[in-house]
Chain A
Amino acid sequence: MTEIIRFLIGFLLIVGGFLSLVTAFGLLRLPDVYTRNHAASKSATLGVMSILLATFLYFYLEHGHFNSRLILAIIFIFVTAPVAGHLIARAAYHSGVKLWDKSVQDDLKNKKEYEQQNSN
């Protein structure tokens, strides 16, 4: 039993570390703000959540200490990190940051003209 638990905890830690590494590589190698934001908000969130879950399981199953703050932190990060990514991407778009030159579609580009046409 305890060996299985230790294996699970180690697996979660490795997954969390790997996902954080993926985030760092994505931030370095992706071409523009939006793809970088995509890498940062998704994989970093899951990576941190895995590490927090591993920490919670370690203290609960090995030491018998139920730490509710870690559960709260997992929920909190799960709720807030995507919103932070959304707000950063939106602020970048509205301040005129260009998309990558190989992007094929920008649906928000015609929004202003469309709204003006409909209001008149």
Chain B
Amino acid sequence: MKKPKTNDVILQTVTNVVTFIIVLFSLSLFFAGHYTPGGGFIGGLMTSAAIVLMLLAYDLDTVANILPIDYKILTAVGLLIAVATGAGALLFDVPFLTHAYDYFYLPLLGKTSLHTAVLFDTGVYLVVIGVTMTIIQTIGVSE
């Protein structure tokens, strides 16, 4: 079936600009999650919202070309990271999912507190993106 010719210049141009703002905001929400509202869940939803906006402006094949990601594998990797963060606590002879933090002196950032909960949050982030995009793409391609 031939695709109907549409004229989506305005939508596509604005999508090109706005997607960067949304992705930056989602990363900001993700990294700010420890001290301010935000975190892995809402950051992941926001990132998938940016991808959904690209899906609205372009079509499935174009977005699959731009982001060649298999979202089911992304979900699996996220779960693996979350479980591995929990299991890593067992190596130090503390209960499962015990988190630790310390202050580090990084070259550019100076004194930074790094927490292993961020690794767990990365798992949540990837799982949320993977599940949301899998649901939306599965609904999108069914005839």
Contact = CB atoms under 8 A, between A and B. Distances in A.
B14 A83 contact: yes
Interface stretch (B17-25, B72-80, B134-142): B17-25
Tell me what chain B mostly uses at the interface: helix, strand, loop, or mixed. helix
B25 A79 contact: no
B11 interface: yes
A79 B10 contact: no
A16 B14 CA distance: 25
Contacts, number: 18
Nearest to B22: A76
A72 B29 CA distance: 13
A80 B11 CA distance: 9
A74 to B, nearest CB: 12
Interface of B: 10-11, 14, 17-18, 21, 25, 28
Interface of A: 69, 72, 75-76, 79-80, 83, 86-87
Those 8 A-B pairs whose CB atoms lie nearest each other, nearest first:
A83-B14, A76-B21, A86-B10, A83-B10, A80-B18, A79-B18, A79-B14, A87-B11
